Chain A
Amino acid sequence: MRIVILALLVLSSCASPRSSPIFALTFSDKPPRAAIRGVCNGQTFTTQGTVVCEQKEPTTAQISVKVPPLEGRVIYSNGQLKKTDDFNWYPAQGFWIFKNRPMKDTWADLDLGTIAATFGDWPVSLDIAADDPDVGVIVTRGVLYYRVCDDATVPCSKLETNYDCAGHVNATGPAMIGKCERLAGSPQDLTVFMKGQLYTVQPGAKLYVSIPRQNYESAVDITSADLASGQRDIELPAVLTGPTIVGLRMSWYQSGKIVSVETRILIIGYSPDWTGLDKPHYMLHNQTVDWVKPTFADVMEVDTFNGRDTAGRQYGKDKMRTEPKAGTTGPVCAFAWQRDSSDLSIQCLNYQNQEVSFP
């Protein structure tokens, strides 16, 4: 009897979730990892972490974010407004609701109004906070930088550059501003081209670089050697943690008037201490796919892009199995989240079980 009483008492206290303490996190030093879907210049895109877009006309914002299979909320701000929208499980019907409506797919539409109702810059920051009963609040971040230009007060981007970004070479060009998520603490290399699709730099030109966040300003003389080689390499100061907007302008005289071409690059630095997740693993068995949660991930979801159903609530499982439904040819993606890193990792397979980029 004594043993039974003791066992009951101990088990009852052990049954409470999270029996070891956790510590609060700050998110500003973590990279943006949210999956974001939007429209830029009429083209739908899907990306992860950061979105940059330049367009010539204000439009209604069409931006969605992937939410985990947990209850939580999306907090978003464009620098002037701040909103909170919840996503909840509705057990009576067995589906997810967002803004009082059932979610038809795995994405939550944000209500952000009009992108830059006049002209200018339109930055948006969002945090998706989901409540996991086992590990606590899982937050994934997202950053958007839209720019509506008019070639008068707000020049449209034309300057062409290449820049290193975490092992890849990214570019800016006509109607294309740059973005990069990378480790903070080391310099940023950049190559500016003397001839682009819409310009040819003339002798006597100067390159201007402005990074207000770092109190960095530079006016670089473009030499005849630069013009001969067709490019000028510059090194920007060590990247800080968080978002930094770099402004670049090349100006020269042409027919007695100053001509300028510009661009912007949004660099988001994150702490070298940060360590993310591996992608979800998979094993193929003909048309069946067994998905395995990455090491240290807290939540995994497999989504067939045919609508969220009760399978989406199988959080905390280490393994899931998907089989193609008859008549469907869409991709299947596995998503994994982790609280400590605020990371979201994604692995997608097409109908032939080939790895594909995010749909």
Chain B
Amino acid sequence: MSGSTIVSALGSAGSIFASLLTAVAGASPYGLGAVGGIVLLTIVGGWIGWNKIVSYLNSSTDSRDQQNAGADAGNTSVDMANQAGAVRQGLDGLQAANPPTDPNAPKVKS
């Protein structure tokens, strides 16, 4: 199930919960007014639904942070290992292409 599907389902669950509460409150002998009850319980249900959504988003963020941390550890060490080998080859290649000058070497007449 995709993340957006889960979020959507949670949001729907919040709305359904709000509707149920509205129905219960409307039938209550303590009597919220019909309009007041709908408004109040929609707010409460929406609030709970929002918290469920936030809770889901945060847990998926935690999971992604952990994955990112693991990926960082692996990728960084592999990258550094490759760099270390390439540095040695790079220096050898540079010196082979541009060797130092031997000041005592016999001079060639042009």
Give the B-binding residues of A (Cβ under 8 A).
Answer: 1-2, 6, 9-10, 13-14, 16, 18-28, 75-80, 82, 84, 120-121, 123-127, 129, 131, 136-137, 139, 141, 143, 145, 147, 154, 202-206, 208, 210-213, 217-219, 242-247, 249, 251-253, 256, 258, 260, 262, 264, 266
Give the docked Cα–Cα distance between A23 and B68 (Å).
Answer: 12
Give the A-binding residues of B (Cβ under 8 A).
Answer: 30, 32, 40, 44, 47-48, 51, 54-55, 57-58, 61-62, 64-66, 68-70, 72-81, 83-88, 90-91, 93-95, 97-105
Give the docked Cα–Cα distance between A244 and B75 (Å).
Answer: 13
Asked whether B47 lies within 8 Å of A206 as measured between CB atoms, the reply is no
Which A residues lie within 8 Å of B81 (CB)?
78-80, 121, 123
Which A residues lie within 8 Å of B103 (CB)?
202-204, 253
Which A residues lie within 8 Å of B91 (CB)?
208, 210, 247, 249, 262
Q: Chain B: which residue is nearest A124 at the CB level?
A: B77
Asked whether B99 lies within 8 Å of A10 as measured between CB atoms, the reply is no
B76 to chain A, nearest CB (A): 4
Asked whether B80 lies within 8 Å of A123 as measured between CB atoms, the reply is yes
Asked whether A243 lies within 8 Å of B102 as measured between CB atoms, the reply is no
Asked whether B85 lies within 8 Å of A2 as measured between CB atoms, the reply is no
- The answer to whether A139 and B78 touch (CB under 8 A), given A21-B58, A210-B91, is no
Asked whether B68 lies within 8 Å of A24 as measured between CB atoms, the reply is yes
Q: Chain B: which residue is nearest A266 at the CB level?
A: B80
Asked whether A256 lies within 8 Å of B104 as measured between CB atoms, the reply is yes
Asked whether B44 lies within 8 Å of A28 as measured between CB atoms, the reply is no
Asked whether A143 lies within 8 Å of B94 as measured between CB atoms, the reply is no
Give the docked Cα–Cα distance between A19 and B76 (Å).
Answer: 34
Give the docked Cα–Cα distance between A226 and B41 (Å).
Answer: 82
Asked whether A219 lies within 8 Å of B47 as measured between CB atoms, the reply is no
Sample 28 A-B pairs with CB under 8 A, ordered by A number. A2-B32, A6-B40, A10-B44, A10-B47, A18-B55, A20-B54, A28-B76, A77-B73, A79-B80, A125-B74, A125-B76, A127-B70, A127-B73, A136-B62, A137-B66, A139-B68, A143-B80, A208-B98, A210-B87, A212-B87, A217-B94, A245-B84, A247-B87, A249-B95, A253-B104, A258-B99, A264-B84, A266-B80
Give the docked Cα–Cα distance between A15 and B70 (Å).
Answer: 31
Give the docked Cα–Cα distance between A285 and B30 (Å).
Answer: 59
B31 to chain A, nearest CB (A): 9
- The answer to whether A2 and B88 touch (CB under 8 A), given A76-B73, A79-B81, A204-B100, is no
Q: Chain B: which residue is nearest A132 at the CB level?
A: B62
Give the docked Cα–Cα distance between A206 and B102 (Å).
Answer: 11
Cβ-defined partner of B54 (8 Å) among A18, A78, A141, A217:
A18
Which B residues lie within 8 Å of A84 (CB)?
70
Give the docked Cα–Cα distance between A211 and B84 (Å).
Answer: 10
Asked whether B84 lies within 8 Å of A123 as measured between CB atoms, the reply is yes
- The answer to whether A19 and B54 touch (CB under 8 A), given A203-B103, A210-B94, A253-B104, is yes
A255 to chain B, nearest CB (A): 9
Cβ-defined partner of B86 (8 Å) among A23, A129, A143, A212:
A212
Give the docked Cα–Cα distance between A27 and B74 (Å).
Answer: 12
Pairs A-B, 10 closest by C-beta atoms: A210-B90, A121-B84, A123-B80, A247-B87, A204-B101, A79-B81, A212-B86, A125-B76, A219-B98, A137-B65
Cβ-defined partner of A24 (8 Å) among B61, B70, B84, B100:
B61
Asked whether B65 lies within 8 Å of A24 as measured between CB atoms, the reply is yes
Asked whether B65 lies within 8 Å of A25 as measured between CB atoms, the reply is yes
Asked whether B90 lies within 8 Å of A217 as measured between CB atoms, the reply is yes
Asked whether A82 lies within 8 Å of B61 as measured between CB atoms, the reply is no
Give the docked Cα–Cα distance between A350 and B67 (Å).
Answer: 39
Q: Chain B: which residue is nearest A78 at the CB level?
A: B77
- The answer to whether A22 and B83 touch (CB under 8 A), given A204-B100, A204-B102, is no
